[in-house]
Amino acid sequence: MIRLSLIIPCYNEARNLPLVVARCREAFTRDDVEVVLVDNGSTDDSPAVLASLLRDGESVRSIRVAHNEGYGHGILMGLRAARGDILGWTHADMQTDPVDALVGLALFDASPMPERLFVKGARRGRPATDVVFTIGMSVFETLLMRHRFWDVNAQPTMFSRSFFTTWQGAPKDFALDLYAYYTARAQGLRIARFPVQFPQRAHGVSHWNATLRGKIKFIRRTIAFSLHLRRSLGAASKKDAP
């Protein structure tokens, strides 16, 4: 039986993949933990690199998404292919250590109601400009939703399979982090955070947050999706009213 499935979406991460696979093999020696690397429609050498690195029957495996439909779509495909009771995801760029998921798993193991727990990392060691950006977005989300939302895009993100089965209309892009966090709040799950280090990328650059244009696109999408969630909350409240 698989206790934890950790999903790692990979888009054009050929240079990072040997580091990711080596770290996962080093960290996850338990038989009840699996890692699902999602080749999310990569156009670089990622498929060939994965084929050369992975072996049949080991706890680190991969699936291939033929066409990239967004960061969230790759994660969702990985979650659907996962076999664990506890599900989660993190990044492939080595800015988040896959072993952090074991810290999160310990929180589930210690919980009397793991199915009602939602776990996220809380990033440490980031550049000051990124911290200011995160603070601004966190304050916006908190004021809009009237619940505390902080460092929404921190990883890992972890939850029970039973929680995942309740998801409806999950977005296919980077708004998936907000959707998962918001849905956990809306369903009254207990939110647990723990500190994780966030160093520089080992190779390459971010596919969405490396430039001012990327940040502006992220802000616009986040605001639009946040307003959508807020309207959904209002509609649900009216529906439930006597």
- Would you state the structure tokens that stand for residue 92, as one six-digit string? 């492939």
Can you give the residue ranges of every domain in the chain? 4-240
Cβ-based neighbour number of residue 117 at 10 Å: 22
Mean pLDDT of 105-133: 94
CATH class of this structure's domain 4-240: alpha beta
- Whether the pLDDT of residue 206 is over 60: the answer is no
Question: Do 126 and 153 form a contact (C-beta atoms < 8 A)?
Answer: no
List the single range of 17-21, 215-219, 220-224, 232-236 with lowest mean pLDDT: 232-236
Question: Do 101 and 158 form a contact (C-beta atoms < 8 A)?
Answer: yes
Mean pLDDT of 26-49: 96
**pTM of the complete model:** 0.89
Q: CA–CA separation, 103 vs 89, rounded Å?
A: 13
Question: Do 229 and 145 form a contact (C-beta atoms < 8 A)?
Answer: yes
List the single range of 32-36, 76-80, 185-189, 225-229 with lowest mean pLDDT: 225-229
Q: CA–CA separation, 207 vs 177, rounded Å?
A: 16
Sort strands 190-197 and 117-124 into parallel, antiparallel or unpaired: parallel
Integer-rounded Cα Rg, in Å, for the chain is: 18
Q: Reduced to 3 states, what is the DSSP secondary structure of residue 156?
A: coil
Residue 161 binned pLDDT confidence (cut-offs 50, 70, 90): very high
Cβ-based neighbour number of residue 189 at 10 Å: 19
Q: CA–CA separation, 171 vs 94, rounded Å?
A: 24
- The per-residue pLDDT of the chain, averaged, comes to 90
pLDDT at position 240 is: 40
